[in-house]
Structures are given as C-alpha cells and as structure tokens.
C-alpha cells in the first residue's frame, strides 16, 4: 500500500481514497461461519452440496487470462487480465520493469488502477520526461472489438496522467491479433508490443531489419514511426526531438555545406542508419538533387550525395531543356502538385495516397495516386510548370482497407514474416488489391478484397 501511495502522490491525489478503498479488501480472507444443525439424514447430501456451492461462490475466483496489456517505455511490463479486466498476473520483461513494479502487489486490481500505479512509478523514476516522452500500449486478446475499446480508453487515461505532470506525451497504442509475433518477440528477446512495432517498420521500409532496430528505445522507434507513417498504430502527440539538433538545424547544416540557398525542400525526416539516429535532408536546386544524412545528435555530416547526372546532357538536349524551363527555375512542391490534381479531379477528401517524384525526358515529374469515393485517380504533373501531363480515373468500388492492410493479409496467409520478404508490390485494381512478393525460394501473388480484406485468389510458384 505504501508503494502504490507513493507512486500516485504526485499525479493522482484525487484518486488515492478510491484506490485505497478498492485495494483494501483484495487479500481479505473469507470465513464461512457454520452453525450446528439438527440431523436430517434424508436431506444431508443436498444440504452439503448447497453449502459447498455457497462457499465456492464466496471464495476468490481464479479467472483465466482473457486479455494482455503491455506497457513499454524502457521498463517493459505485461498485465494479464481476466474477463472483468482484473489483473490476474504481472509480468516484467526486463530489469527496469522489475524496478518499476517493485513491491507493488497489483493482483486483483482493476486494469486502470494497475496502469495508473505503474505510470506513476515510471514518472517518479524519470523514465518518462520531456526529452523521452513516448510510451507504447499494446492490447492482445481474442475479442478485437473489446481490445480496441480498451486501447482507446487506456490511451486517454495515460495522456491525462502525463498532462497532470506537465508532460506533453506521445502515446503509441496498438491492438495485436497476429499470434506469430510472439515467436519473433521470443527470438529477439523483446516484448510482444515492441516486436509488433518493429515488424510494422520493417514491412514499411525495406532498409530496416529486426536486428538493426531491436535495441532502439520506444522513443526512438516512435520517431521512426512518425517519419514512416505506419498505418497499424495510433499515435497521439509528437515524439520529442529536444534531445537532438532538430530538423531546422539539420537542414541548415546541409544547405551550408552544399552552398545552396532558396532550394526546393523535398524532405527533412528522422531516420536510423548504421546504428545512428540521423536526419535525412533532401532538396533540389537548378535540376540538381542533393541528399544528406546528418547525425541527429552531433550534427556531423554522415553522408552526402549530389545527383547531377542529368545536367551532363548533350548541348542540343540542354538547349531544348533550357527553352522548356526558361520561364521558371523554381519547382512546385508536393503539396502544390497534390492540390493541382485534386482540384482537377473535383475532390477534396482523399485516401490511399501515393506520391513519387521522378526525372523523365529532362523534367521533374510528380506521380500522384489517390482514392476518393469509389474511384482511383492517377496523375502525372510537371514538377516545374505544374501542368498535368497525364491523368486517369478508374472505378475500384468501396475501398475500406489500405495498401499495407492488404499486404499484411497476404503475408499472414502465406505464413511468412514481413522481415523475410522482398520485391513487394501492391496495386489497387477493380475492387481488389494485387499483392506480389518473394520469400525464400518462392514467389507469391494475391488478390485481396479492397472492401473487407478477404483473399479472393492466391498463387505460390517456385522462384528460379
């Protein structure tokens, strides 16, 4: 009781009386008082049976585990719950988790009480602060609808606790239904929740591997999640970059080194490469592309590239290009290209967006694909003038799942891990996604319903 009281003192003083009252009877022994009765041999067996049933009803129940809630910061703790959301067992996945749990006996407590106590202890010990403001909640169980409700409620509760401690937290939350993730977690000796996050990142970015990401903190993984826009997780707030040089400083370092001013900025994003958190800085100037990798902690230039192969054209090609682009050396941004396409299509709300920038026949082009209503739109836009070079509109029916959902459905059915696949391609066609990929010595092709995610067809061929 003293330990829980200390954990709550700072952040939830208004809840202490309620929590104490709830925990007061958790370990109370139940005594059944019996009185001597006159002997009625005819009813002896029924009466004994009724008494036994009453005793069993009064004794503490031993509910089976229905749901598992994982909390990961650096401390990693799992709470096993029964169907009443009472804590059946507390498991710790690392030494920091053991430190946080300490002597607290949370068995029999409501999930809200247990989570509040653990978050309070993490705040007290400095595991969550303004520099490292990320926390991961993972809910695993058979009832997906109830899991989603619990995920949302826990996320809201924890956000309130952090704000009460003057911390603008970034809470990553997810529900997990993939049973295979437990094997990956065991293989890499990390929590199931962290393994699921890494799997999503690996499937989103082919440059990542489990081995390269397994030792990252939840805060570092959150920074990568926000750069890679993973769909399967919910993120509230922004992961703090206060412990790093920041995007503006990284951009300035790259521009100063390149001796470039007023470029078209393509992106400045947090990334991870060769064991170091970096900022990827990409920009264009006078048809030349610049790519920089800046150490996110020290500001040192890790890598830089200058792609000017297209400027070494023949004089006739250069003359033709200069005539084409003489009106303007400034290129339109991605957001401008999107706006041009959506205005032309006459739509405002879109989903399933895919944007690529390429260099073709002496000019930069944006290739933009999106879905609105029951149609898929594809646009090719001149990156300098903003003129529409090509556009298509195709009926695809109701689209309720995204590219990544379709891909994961195919991986799951094929029995392969996203970390072991390559040459992945996902295209939205009439009412379905066409998903193709390779794993091991095999090539797989799937058609996945865009409306409900069902598998319409699949093939598996030996890859020579």
Average pLDDT for 370-377? 90
* Banded model confidence at residue 315, pLDDT cuts 50, 70, 90: very low
Per-residue confidence (pLDDT) for residue 363, from 0 to 100: 76
Residues 137 and 105 in one domain: yes
> Are 132 and 82 within one domain?
yes
Hey, CA dihedral for 121, 123, 125, 131, is it positive or negative?
Answer: positive
Please tell me the distance from the alpha carbon of residue 413 to that of residue 401, in angstroms, as a whole number.
Answer: 16
Query: Is pLDDT of 169 > 80?
Result: yes
Percent of the chain with pLDDT over 70: 81
85 and 137 together in one domain: yes
Same domain, 286 and 429: no
Write the CA distances from 14 to 8, 10, 19, 20, integer angstroms.
Answer: 9, 10, 10, 11
**Range name among 35-39, 106-110, 141-145, 254-258 with the lowest pLDDT average:** 35-39
Q: What share of the chain in percent tops pLDDT 90? A: 47
Q: Are residues 274 and 383 in the same domain?
A: no
Would you give the DSSP letter of residue 14? G
31 is a domain residue: no
Rounded Cα gap, residues 360 and 365, in angstroms: 7
Residue 154, pLDDT above cutoff 90 = yes
Q: Are residues 255 and 200 in the same domain?
A: no
Give the pLDDT band of residue 286 (cuts 50, 70, 90).
Answer: confident
Mean pLDDT of 335-340: 91
- The string of pLDDT tens digits covering residues 68-95 is 999 999 899 999 999 899 999 999 999 9
Residues 6+ apart with CB under 8 A from 404: 203, 204, 230, 231, 232, 426
Per-residue pLDDT, averaged over 163-188, amounts to: 90
Check if the beta carbon of residue 16 is closer than 8 Å to that of residue 5. yes
Q: Evaluate whether residue 34 is within a structural domain.
A: no
Judge whether residue 371 has pLDDT over 70.
Answer: yes
Q: Which residue, among 195, 201, 196, has the nearest Cα to 214 in the 3D structure?
A: 195
Query: Given this model, what pLDDT does residue 47 score?
Result: 45
pLDDT at 194: 94
Whether residue 113 is contained in a domain is answered as yes
Q: What is the pTM of this model?
A: 0.56
Query: What is the pLDDT averaged over residues 193-199?
Result: 93
330 lies in which domain range?
325-395
- pLDDT given at position 464: 67
Last residue of a domain, one of 236, 270, 294: 236
Residues 102 and 219 in one domain: yes
Instruction: Note the pLDDT of residue 274.
Output: 81
Question: Based on the domain organization, do 221 and 170 belong to the same domain?
Answer: yes
CATH number (domain holding residue 374):
3.10.450.40
Enumerate the H helices of 314-356 as residue ranges: 315-325, 334-345
Helix (H) or strand (E) holding 79: strand 76-81
- Statement to judge: residues 109 and 141 lie in one domain: yes
Domain-ending residue, one of 179, 207, 236: 236
Question: 47 in a domain, yes or no?
Answer: no
The pLDDT assigned to 323 comes to 39
Answer whether 72's CB lies under 8 Å from 218's CB.
yes
- Burial (CB < 10 A; 0-12, 13-18, 19+), residue 418, is buried
Confidence label for 18 from pLDDT (cuts 50, 70 and 90)? low
CA distances from 451 to 52, 352, 400, 412, 448 (A): 54, 13, 5, 18, 9
401 confidence band (pLDDT: 50, 70, 90): confident
Beta strand spans in 93-204 (E): 134-141, 170-176
- Rounded-to-integer distance, Cα 121 and Cα 144, Å: 29
Q: How many domains does the chain have?
A: 4
- Domain assignment present for 29: no
Is 289:258 a contact under the CB 8 Å cutoff?
Answer: no
> Do 124 and 204 belong together in one domain?
yes
Query: Do 388 and 415 reside in the same domain of the chain?
Result: no
Is residue 57 domain-resident?
no
Tell me, yes or no, whether 44 lies in a domain: no
Q: Is the pLDDT of residue 178 over 90?
A: no
7-11, 210-214, 426-430, range with the lowest pLDDT: 7-11
Q: What's the mean per-residue pLDDT of the chain? A: 82
Does the pLDDT of residue 49 top 80, yes or no? Answer: no
Using the predicted structure, report yes or no on whether residue 3 has a pLDDT greater than 90: no
Mean pLDDT calculated for residue range 6-29 = 50
Give yes or no: residues 279 and 260 share one domain: yes
Tens of pLDDT, residue by residue over 217-261, are 999 999 999 888 777 789 999 999 999 999 999 999 999 999 999
Question: How many CB atoms within 10 Å of residue 152?
Answer: 15
């Amino acid at each position: 009781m003293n330990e829980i009281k200390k954990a709550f003192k700072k952040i939830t003083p208004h809840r202490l009386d309620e929590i104490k009252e709830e925990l007061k009877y958790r370990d109370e022994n139940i005594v059944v008082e019996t009185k001597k009765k006159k002997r009625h041999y005819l009813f002896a067996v029924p009466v004994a049976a009724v008494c036994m049933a009453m005793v069993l009803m009064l004794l503490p129940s031993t509910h089976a585990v229905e749901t598992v809630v994982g909390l990961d910061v650096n401390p990693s703790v799992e709470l096993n719950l029964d169907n009443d959301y009472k804590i059946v067992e507390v498991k710790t996945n690392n030494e920091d988790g053991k430190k946080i749990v300490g002597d607290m006996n949370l068995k029999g407590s409501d999930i809200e009480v247990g989570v509040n106590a653990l978050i309070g202890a993490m705040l007290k010990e400095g595991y969550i602060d303004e520099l490292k403001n990320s926390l991961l909640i993972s809910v695993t169980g058979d009832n997906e609808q109830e899991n989603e409700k619990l995920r949302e409620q826990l996320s809201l509760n924890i956000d309130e606790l952090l704000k009460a401690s003057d911390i603008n937290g970034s809470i990553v939350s997810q529900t997990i239904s993939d049973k295979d993730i437990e094997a990956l977690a065991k293989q890499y000796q990390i929590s199931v929740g962290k393994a699921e996050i890494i799997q999503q990142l690996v499937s989103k970015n082919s440059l990542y591997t489990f081995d390269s990401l397994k030792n990252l903190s939840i805060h570092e993984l959150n920074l990568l999640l926000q750069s890679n826009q993973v769909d399967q997780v919910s993120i509230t707030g922004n992961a703090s970059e206060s412990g790093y040089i920041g995007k503006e400083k990284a951009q300035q370092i790259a521009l100063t080194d390149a001796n470039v001013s007023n470029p078209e900025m393509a992106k400045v994003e947090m990334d991870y490469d060769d064991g170091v958190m970096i900022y990827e800085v990409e920009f264009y100037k006078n048809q030349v592309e610049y790519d920089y990798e800046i150490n996110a902690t020290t500001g040192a230039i890790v890598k830089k590239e200058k792609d000017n192969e297209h400027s070494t054209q023949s004089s006739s090609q250069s003359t033709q290009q200069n005539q084409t682009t003489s009106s303007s050396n400034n290129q339109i941004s991605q957001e401008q290209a999107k706006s041009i396409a959506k205005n032309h299509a006459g739509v405002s709300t879109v989903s399933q967006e895919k944007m690529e920038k390429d260099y073709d026949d002496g000019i930069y082009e944006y290739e933009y694909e999106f879905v609105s209503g029951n149609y898929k739109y594809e646009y090719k836009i001149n990156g300098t003038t903003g003129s529409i070079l090509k556009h298509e509109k195709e009926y695809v029916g109701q689209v309720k799942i995204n590219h990544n959902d379709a891909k994961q459905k195919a991986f799951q059915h094929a029995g392969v891990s996203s970390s072991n696949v390559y040459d992945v391609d996902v295209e939205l066609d009439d009412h379905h996604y066409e998903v193709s990929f390779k794993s091991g010595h095999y090539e797989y092709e799937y058609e996945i319903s865009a409306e409900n995610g069902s598998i319409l067809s699949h093939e598996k061929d030996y890859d020579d």
